Amino acid sequence: MIAPNAVHEILGRHQLADGLPFVMDLERSHGSWIHDSRTGDEFLDFFTCFASWPIGYNHPGMLEPEFRKEIELVARNKPANSDIYTSHMADFVETFATRVTPEGFPHHFWIDGGALAVENAIKVAFDWKARKVGIDKVDDGNQLVVLHFNAAFHGRTGYTMSLTNTVPDKIALFPKFDWPRVHNPAIEFAQDGSIANDIEAEEARACAEIEAAFAKYENRVAAILIETMQGEGGDNHFRPEFFQALRGYADQHEALLIYDEVQVGFFGSGTPWMWQQLGVAPDIVAFGKKTQVCGIYASKRVDEVADNVFVRSSRINSTWGANLVDMVRSKRMIEIILDEKLHENAVERGEQFVTGLRALAGEHAGVSNVRGVGTLIAFTCENNSSRDALLAHLMDNKILALASGEVSVRFRMPLVVTAEEIDLALERIGTCLPIIASA
């Protein structure tokens, strides 16, 4: 095995290797802590591999002999799940569909990668809309369109390139479709958690732009696509009233309402899906990251079209049909989360963290808009350079966090995070905050 000190140099010889400076020790990392095999240092992980790792490292439930035997078996062979079925796969699908997917969503589709989950949700909608309005040939890239939002991040694949619009460098120079993009009416939170901006005016602006788009693309909008909370674009939260308005537009104009829960889904908010807290059901949800297995679940609205993609073979598909190792791991994680009520822990720890951050924001100029639920927490800095300086300083103080939008810091904790770890994080953040004033 390559020595830890040589890892970056060897990777750099063959690929762009500009990742984090430490080398993760998979055996010694534990709970909320990543162990650096080069130095022995431990980092408090409030980043969780871009919000993709739900229950901490080496959770005792993942070390049980029965689980180890099963995961070792499926790791040795890789069936094409779309056509070759196994008991392991059926076990996972049954567990996910009955314990994680909410009532009323009978259709599932599995694939590797969050962007491809979103991409396939869009394909479901294109197929549905085309059949609904009697189109039998689509030969213009703008004949059917997806209505989406400013500051959205949906991934970096073919269709999602036309929807993602956060950092310009992620999309520049790649050909895109010209699909309707509208204002994102984000809430700004005051120190006491109340709404600080004129959110009704924000929503009115978004709704006016949505109505103009439906008028311009008459009968051509296949879907309204929105992240339940925009992560990469700035941890932007929306009101339930706004989701209700989107539901109304989708119903009125025969478009499917798609939520992208790749970043926020799978218990991170305290409920299996964040939309359940907002109370407005979509037609399709795209998921990934913490679920391990990416994909979509869809409601019976899709069945309004008899020949939909869940009925016709191979309209949507991939060779592997996701990955069996991920399925076995995901099933075990679901059992652990529900048995240990880790989502309830997430809610309590999230409240503790938000309260602590609001107190820090009261003491330090240049920190505002503390927001979030469960393990999905953020605050806003005064400007881009103070935010970047703070993130670097947090890393020096062995706490991992993420940038969000131009000026925000976001934290993505594991569901197992403890009250002591939240206190320690607050202490370290408090130590780092003076850097904002000098940046």
Ligand X SMILES: Cc1ncc(COP(=O)(O)O)c(C=O)c1O
By the criterion CB under 6 A, which residues form the site for ligand X? 50, 113-115, 118, 153-155, 227, 231-232, 260, 262-263, 288
Residue 275 CB, nearest distance to ligand X (Å)? 13
Residue 329 CB, nearest distance to ligand X (Å)? 16
Secondary structure E strands in 76-150: 107-111, 145-149
Residue 232 CB, nearest distance to ligand X (Å)? 5
Q: By C-beta, is 105 or 149 nearer to ligand X?
A: 149
Task: Return the sign of the alpha-carbon dihedral for residues 327, 276, 61, 106.
Answer: negative
Q: Which residue is nearest to ligand X (CB)?
A: 114
Residue 160 CB, nearest distance to ligand X (Å)? 7
Q: Is 93 helix (H, G, I), strand (E, B) or coil?
A: helix
Residue 153 CB, nearest distance to ligand X (Å)? 5
Q: By C-beta, is 323 or 345 nearer to ligand X?
A: 323
- Give the separation between CA 233 and CA 6, rounded to whole angstroms: 35
Q: By C-beta, is 56 or 231 nearer to ligand X?
A: 231
Q: By C-beta, is 35 or 371 nearer to ligand X?
A: 371
Contact 101, 271 (CB under 8 A): no
Residues in the chain: 439
Contact 261, 290 (CB under 8 A): no
Residue 72 CB, nearest distance to ligand X (Å)? 25
- Give the separation between CA 374 and CA 379, rounded to whole angstroms: 14
Q: By C-beta, is 331 or 410 nearer to ligand X?
A: 410
Residue 100 CB, nearest distance to ligand X (Å)? 18
Q: By C-beta, is 31 or 233 nearer to ligand X?
A: 233
Contact 153, 231 (CB under 8 A): yes
Residue 50 CB, nearest distance to ligand X (Å)? 6
Q: Is 376 helix (H, G, I), strand (E, B) or coil?
A: strand
Task: Return the sign of the alpha-carbon dihedral for residues 389, 392, 393, 399.
Answer: positive
Residue 335 CB, nearest distance to ligand X (Å)? 23
Tell the residue number behind the tokens 């180890």, with chain if given. 68
Contact 274, 298 (CB under 8 A): no
Contact 321, 80 (CB under 8 A): yes
Q: By C-beta, is 51 or 422 nearer to ligand X?
A: 51
Q: By C-beta, is 118 or 432 nearer to ligand X?
A: 118
Q: Is 383 helix (H, G, I), strand (E, B) or coil?
A: coil
Contact 304, 132 (CB under 8 A): yes
The DSSP element (H or E) to which 389 belongs, if any, is helix 384-396
Q: By C-beta, is 288 or 366 nearer to ligand X?
A: 288
Q: By C-beta, is 115 or 429 nearer to ligand X?
A: 115
- Beta-bridge partner residues of 367: 381
Residue 286 CB, nearest distance to ligand X (Å)? 7
- Give the separation between CA 251 and CA 257, rounded to whole angstroms: 8
The strand pair at 145-149 and 221-227 is best described as: parallel
Q: Is 371 helix (H, G, I), strand (E, B) or coil?
A: strand
Amino acid making up residue 360: L
Q: By C-beta, is 253 or 290 nearer to ligand X?
A: 290
Residue 22 CB, nearest distance to ligand X (Å)? 21
- Give the separation between CA 111 and CA 410, rounded to whole angstroms: 27
Measured between its terminal Cα atoms, the distance across the chain in Å is: 41
- Give the separation between CA 243 and CA 381, rounded to whole angstroms: 27
